[in-house]
């Protein structure tokens, strides 16, 4: 019967220490993250997911970049499922949206209701943010609450933006897609918007 190889205790200690070193963060990364957190503190910004999303919704790009530099997950969500990207997009903060995308935020991430950053921006009438998200790969056909699309969200607004409708149609939005109530974007939330939506569709073809 073969005997196992006995390894002295001090060797195990050395190996265990080496393992910890391998999995530890490099000093430079750890130092950079600590510095970013200190700077957030100097701005009186709490380091939490809620605060991260709040700063994004307010368009505080400096704080958002510091959060990302400090190690905050760019796709972190708060209790309602919203992410910093969805919050920034819905508030129309293009620079903050750009910073989040550059920091690794998922352009197609959804909240608990199924909403995305694109749906949020389109429904709020922010054409510049819609274009930015589309150029970064946002899914123009993604469906959110009640199976609504970004084109529907844009068309349902009282002052629907022709620029948003055209940008979405140019990227392949389906004007005939139906939501849970069997309405399509061509309905535009009622007769009030029908002419506008038809004109936008004609320009996009």
CA-CA distance, 53 to 49, in Å (whole number)? 6
CB under 8 Å to 65, separation ≥6 — which residues? 99, 103
Which helix (DSSP H) or strand (DSSP E) does residue 63 occupy? Answer: helix 61-69
| 107-149 residue pLDDT tens | 999 999 999 999 999 999 999 999 999 999 999 999 988 888 9
What is this structure's pTM? Answer: 0.77
The three-point CA angle 93-94-96 to 5° equals: 70
CA-CA distance, 182 to 102, in Å (whole number)? 37
DSSP 114-132: S--HHHHHHHHT-HHHHHH
Q: Which residues lie across from 178 on neighbouring strands?
A: 184
| 151-193 residue pLDDT tens | 988 888 776 678 999 999 999 998 887 754 444 445 544 444 4
Domains and CATH numbers, the chain: 37-171 (1.25.40.20)
CA-CA distance, 156 to 4, in Å (whole number)? 74
The CB-side HSE value for 41 (13 A sphere, CA atoms) comes to 7
Under DSSP, the state recorded for 184 is: B
């Amino acid at each position: 019967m073969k005997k196992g190889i006995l390894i002295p205790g001090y060797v195990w200690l050395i190996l265990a220490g080496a393992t910890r070193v391998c999995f530890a963060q490099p000093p430079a990364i750890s130092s950079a993250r600590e510095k970013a957190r200190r700077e957030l503190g100097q701005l009186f910004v709490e380091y939490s997911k809620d605060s991260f999303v709040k700063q994004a919704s307010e368009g505080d790009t400096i704080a958002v970049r510091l959060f990302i530099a400090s190690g905050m997950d760019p796709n972190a969500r708060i209790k309602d499922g919203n992410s910093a990207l969805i919050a920034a997009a819905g508030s129309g903060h293009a620079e903050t949206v750009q910073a989040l995308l550059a920091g690794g935020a998922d352009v197609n991430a959804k909240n608990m209701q199924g909403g995305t950053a694109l749906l949020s921006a389109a429904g709020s009438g922010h054409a510049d943010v819609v274009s930015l998200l589309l150029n970064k790969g946002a899914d123009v056909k993604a469906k959110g609450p009640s199976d609504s699309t970004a084109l529907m969200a844009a068309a349902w607004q009282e002052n629907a933006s022709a620029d948003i409708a055209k940008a979405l149609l140019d990227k392949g939005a389906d004007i005939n897609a139906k939501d849970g109530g069997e309405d399509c974007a061509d309905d535009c939330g009622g007769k009030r918007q029908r002419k506008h939506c038809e004109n936008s569709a004609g320009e996009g073809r």
